[in-house]
Amino acid sequence: MAAGAWVVYSNAIELIHEGAIDLDEDDFRMVLVTEEYSPDADADDTWSDVSTNEVANGNGYTTHGEALTVTVTRNAGTVTIDCDDQSWENSTITAKYAVIVRDDDGNGQLASTDALIAYADLDTGGGSVSTTNGTFAVTINASGVFAWAGAA
């Protein structure tokens, strides 16, 4: 399924601008969370704000989600941050949001203090998305996760 528009957490914007997050070099993960999570892009900062609502381990999903390959490109005055699509095959999953989190120590196990980067609503119609012994896929928009436009 195509993810809705990605919303960047305010804390992530601040950390990126301060140089505390390196989008080219840091490790990132995509996790799936349930409808019990109520995103607040201004107040939610770290994995501890989301972790209790992560999709349960099992049925084709592994706690702490999947590793992401993030790319940063510049073209005609616009810097685009993108990542690879993710999928969980042979899965039985129900999720409302996909969340990108920086894996600060790169070990695949998110810590409570790991920074939230962005989230996308997987069903902008208000519900959740489910698979039953199928492939749960999150397709990133062709224009990327987010971009900054400068002078062209």
Domain that holds residue 67: 6-149
Q: Tell me the pLDDT tens digit for each residue of 74-100.
A: 888 888 898 999 999 999 999 999 999
Residue 110, by phi and psi: left (phi above 0), alpha (psi -120 to 50) or beta? beta
pLDDT score of 2 more than 70: no
Say if CB 111 and CB 50 are below 8 A apart: no
Total number of domains in the chain: 1
Provide the pLDDT for residue 126. 83
Q: Is the pLDDT of residue 120 over 70?
A: yes
Find the mean pLDDT for residues 40-68: 96
Q: Would the pLDDT of 132 be above 60?
A: yes
Mean pLDDT of 137-150: 85
Mean pLDDT of the 115-126 span: 91
d(CA 64, CA 38): 19
In a domain, 116, yes or no: yes
* CB atoms near residue 131 (< 10 Å): 21
Q: Is 85 inside any structural domain? A: yes
Q: What is the C-alpha to C-alpha distance for residues 57 and 32, in angstroms, rounded to an integer? A: 11
Confidence (pLDDT) at 64: 96
Phi/psi for 149 (5° steps) reads: -105, 130
pLDDT at 103 over 80: yes
Q: What is the mean pLDDT of residues 27-35?
A: 96
Question: Is 73 inside any structural domain?
Answer: yes
Helix or strand (DSSP H, E) at 129: strand 129-138
Task: Specify the 3-state DSSP secondary structure of 49.
Answer: helix
The answer to whether residue 76 is domain-embedded is yes
Q: Is 110 inside a domain boundary?
A: yes
Q: Is position 1 within any domain?
A: no
Q: Is 115 part of a structural domain of the chain?
A: yes
If we measure between CA atoms, which residue out of 135, 55, 56, 57 comes closest to residue 90?
135
Write the CB contacts of 137 (distance below 8 Å, at least 6 apart in sequence): 1, 85, 86, 87, 88
Would you place residue 4 in the very low, low, confident or very high pLDDT band (cuts 50, 70, 90)? Answer: confident
Region 3-23: what's the mean pLDDT?
91
